[in-house]
Amino acid sequence: DIQLTQSPSSLSASVGDRVTITCRASQGINNFLAWFQQKPGKAPKSLISAASTLQSGVPSRFSGSGSGTEFTLTISSLQSEDLATYYCHQYHSYPYTFGQGTKLEIK
Amino acid sequence: EVQMLQSGGGLVKPGGSLRLSCEVSGFTFRNYIMNWFRQAPGKGLEWVSFISHSGSSIYYADSVKGRFTVSRDNANNLLFLQMNSLTAEDTAVYYCARPSYCDAGSCNAYWGQGVLVTVSS
């Protein structure tokens, strides 16, 4: 199975800060990586597919990059509504897997 | 507008069965692969099953293989997850999901609202 390791597991940042979350895959997955945002009690929301493709309606402050084994999700200017848990997800090989999540708190 | 309306969750005793449904509207269901995911209380996301657009290719997580069966009814835009021999470890919110596809520069993935399955005596 492909393991995804996210870092950090949690972080606290201020409105306006630039935030970066990293996802490392245990083996190469090309660009078959997605990022999800999940708010408490809600279904996950797709932010990024194919490592860097922004989903429709997602604010442009969100961006994704990387290929192979190293990926990043960047929020260029943190907003209060970005309070959530973020997950990376590989769909290169079965079983599909997720990172353990990064809980983002607003200072 | 895309809607993915899930039903069928609830409380079931260990060893029991449950069938989840996901009714899709707003896109041509028969053209898309679909997945089931789940999330145990307070835990992360876990992929459960994949089914191809025609139903000819199916995959399962090892944790549910031999107990869960995914199927689809393309004529009625329905996705199913039949869950048998349920254990407490299957307690989770279950989501149906369509992966992201891009059309005319617009890329979208869709998830159902989730249904809670609780396995307890």
pLDDT digits (tens, 9 = 90+) for B21-36: 999 999 999 999 999 9
| Whether B81 contacts B66, CB under 8 Å | no
pLDDT mean across residues, chain B: 97
Question: Of B35, B45, B107, which is closest to A49 when you measure between CB atoms?
Answer: B107
A62 touches chain B (CB under 8 A): no
Strand partners, A35: A48, A88
Average pLDDT over residues B96-114: 93
pLDDT digits (tens, 9 = 90+) for B50-103: 999 999 999 999 999 999 999 999 999 999 999 999 999 999 999 999 999 988
Residues of chain A with pLDDT under 50: none
Question: Of B44, B62, B95, which is closest to A87 when you measure between CB atoms?
Answer: B44
Give the DSSP letter string of A34-103: EEEEE-TTS--EEEEETTTEEPTT--TTEEEEEETTEEEEEESS--GGG-EEEEEEE-SSSSPEE---EE
Q: Answer whether A49 sits within 8 Å of B114, measured CB to CB.
A: no
Residue tagged 């309306």 (tokens): B5
Q: Answer whether A46 sits within 8 Å of B109, measured CB to CB.
A: yes
First to last CA, chain A: 36
Strand partners, A13: A106
Which residues in chain A have their CB less than 8 angstroms from residue B50's CB? 94, 96
Average pLDDT over residues B5-12: 98
With 0-12 / 13-18 / 19 or more C-beta atoms within 10 angstroms meaning exposed / middle / buried, residue B67 is middle
